[in-house]
Amino acid sequence: MGMNETAPAGAARAAYAAFHRRSISDREAFWRDEAKIVDWHTPFERVLDYSRPPFARWFVGGTTNLCHNAIDRHLAERGDSPALVYISTETGESRKYSFRELHAEVNRCAAMLKALGVGRGDRVLIYMPMIAEAAFAMLACARIGAIHSVVFGGFASASLATRIDDAKPVLLVTADAGMRGGKVLPYKPLVDEALSIARHPPRHVLLFDRRLDPQHAMQAPRDVDWAALAAGHRGARVDCEWLESSEPSYILYTSGTTGQPKGVQRDTGGHAVALVSSMRRIFSVAPGEAMFTTSDIGWVVGHSYIVYGPLLNGSTTIMYEGLPIRPDPGIWWKIVEEHRPRTMFTSPTAIRVLKKQDPAFMKRHDLSSLRYLFLAGEPLDEPTARWAAEALGVAVVDNYWQTETGWPILSAQPGVADTPRKFGSPSFPVYGYDVRLVDGATGADSATGEKGVLAIAPPLPPGCMTTVWGDDARFIRTYFETVPGRQIYSTFDWATCDPDGYYFVLGRTDDVINVAGHRIGTREIEEAVQAHAGIAEVAVVGVQDAVKGQVPVAFAVVKDPARLDGPGGAAALQNEVMQTVDRELGAIARPAHVHFVTLLPKTRSGKLLRRSIQALAEGRDPGDLTTIEDPSALEQIRAALSGSAAPS
């Protein structure tokens, strides 16, 4: 590329660059144009209020409603077109809802929420598996102006209780159970335990009974059966609450470097504009076309590109409960053949899993509808990207973003210009994002080709988080005060930019790790490990893994070393620690290994040398160790690692 690129490629690069430049230099005019793709009940008075940096308010004074924009406004033109396709290979169930049918379901759910006392500004915590009713609940909250907080169904009761106490919901919506790999995962006992330890439990629990866990118990009058309540609200019509653009739409918790998760707060108007715009300009999906996103509603990708993005755009969304290899590794390709999505969005981890399967499963299905495969969640390696592009015969688009931003920061933008792509790079800054690479120590801009912290000069564009729920000071402290001398948003990721303007993301600058696209703070895992009575101290690091990107590995100091020589020894204790993590945080955070040592490597001032531990675990040079308090601690780490198999 560069000097040798073809004329069409050069023209595409120039078209992209001009579009991006206008989004930064003529920000208000740019976003005024983009905002025309959303229905406004009251027109906005100002595009942007940035009078209180770093807080940005977009489309000030405009009132709108996400549910109206996702469903109601499409009824006249495409009321009988498919809106939501639900497929579960766990239960064998599949259902298709037109926009009109989805409208009826969401209205009924909204009436149910109002009957349980939920009103505008109230929080509703949703702890649901990947079922259509979860989408109904999210959209019903949006309809009545309630703020939903979806918690991933894999989180354990202690994690759920933490989020309950922060959001203080008036209602918790759940199901009797989820399923994974054919195994029933009871939800209700986890909910009951969470509510027993939460300081601010909701008044009601609304439970959708899937008949998967006949053992679940209902506690009247707190617990309400979904089907029984729904029966009384058939045919209900509930008016949309018109919210000022900056009013919150949802809270989604994300891991931090402390054990206390951050509640990412999203607005209403900016969120709607950014998502509809991104559907067309990034994901290249038109109204009436389908998109298949394989994430979970408990993560931001599920919020943005299973529930809101496609529906706001008047597109069909495909919601899937199941694994990519069950009932066989052709299941996703069968879905593509049957439902003809234009764009598919999944994670590099999922593609690495499918890459190991017999290619015959892929070849038996017609994938001709698929034009783009978007991959995000963790760094995309070149062999995986190349394999997917060649095996599927589609354009692979690596994109990079965060829970905090809600939509991509770096990506090729085929709906703007079909720029050439480089394997291993998420291409260029997305329009609206003023991306910089900065020196984390001095705050100066990094030179081309030099490693720097990937940062965004504020104001953040529409659709990004507006603050941390209930904690403006934490929003500023966490995101805008880490680069010396500059109020600039830090992504906490290292990156480089090559002479052609392509970005390459290298990994975290902080202690958050990326396990199969799920961000988990090492501090959270450490606290979960230390919940075991036998553990005195622990360090958790993320270690590179060929399939999952990273896996957590724990190094723990045991209170009573004799325990390691007792019945079952280290293996039994490791198993107990992993069970403790499952209980405290959820199986998703379970360490790949727990190594036992008598001391951890620290500086003389007591700071844990996590980077050195991580380097040893990955077979790299541990770096400058002049400040280490006791060199034998690192030797123990080396010995522990050499005495076990590499993480799998």
pTM: 0.86
Tokens standing for residue 163: 């989020």
Tokens standing for residue 368: 């001709």
Q: Nearest 5°: phi and psi at 499?
A: -60, -20
Per-residue pLDDT, 77: 97
Tokens standing for residue 286: 């038109």
Residues 6+ apart with CB under 8 A from 534: 558, 559, 560, 563, 573, 576
Q: Are 486 and 53 in contact (CB under 8 A)?
A: no
Torsion of CA 566, 569, 575, 579, to 10 degrees: 30
Type of residue numbered 114: K
* Residue where the block lists tokens 């988080």: 465
pLDDT mean for each 10 residues of the chain (648 residues): 64 96 98 98 98 98 98 98 98 98 98 98 98 98 98 88 96 97 95 97 98 95 98 97 98 76 95 98 98 95 97 98 94 97 93 86 92 89 87 94 97 96 94 96 89 96 98 96 95 92 84 77 82 89 88 91 84 93 89 92 74 88 74 88 56
Is residue 181 helix, strand or coil?
A: coil
Q: What is the DSSP letter of 303?
A: I
CA pair distance 157, 86, nearest whole angstrom: 27
Picking from 262, 278, 506, the residue whose alpha carbon sits closest to that of residue 406 is: 278
Residues 6+ apart with CB under 8 A from 239: none
Per-residue pLDDT, 5: 62
Q: What is the DSSP letter of 608?
A: B
Q: Are 554 and 543 in contact (CB under 8 A)?
A: no
CA pair distance 501, 426, nearest whole angstrom: 11
Helices marked H in 420-533: 472-480, 522-530
Q: What angle do CA 470, 483, 249 make, to 5 degrees?
A: 30
Listing DSSP states for 154-174 in one string gives TS-HHHHHHHHHHH--SEEEE
Per-residue pLDDT, 197: 96
Q: Are 523 and 89 in contact (CB under 8 A)?
A: no
Q: Are 306 and 319 in contact (CB under 8 A)?
A: yes
Per-residue pLDDT, 626: 66
CA pair distance 114, 149, nearest whole angstrom: 17
Per-residue pLDDT, 560: 86
Per-residue pLDDT, 91: 97
Residues 6+ apart with CB under 8 A from 236: 107, 108, 110, 111
CA pair distance 18, 486, nearest whole angstrom: 27
Quote the crossing angle between the two packed helices 269-281 and 27-34, to the nearest 10°: 80
Domains and CATH numbers, the chain: 1-26+415-510 (2.30.38.10), 512-642 (3.30.300.30)
Quote the crossing angle between the two packed helices 188-197 and 157-167, to the nearest 10°: 50
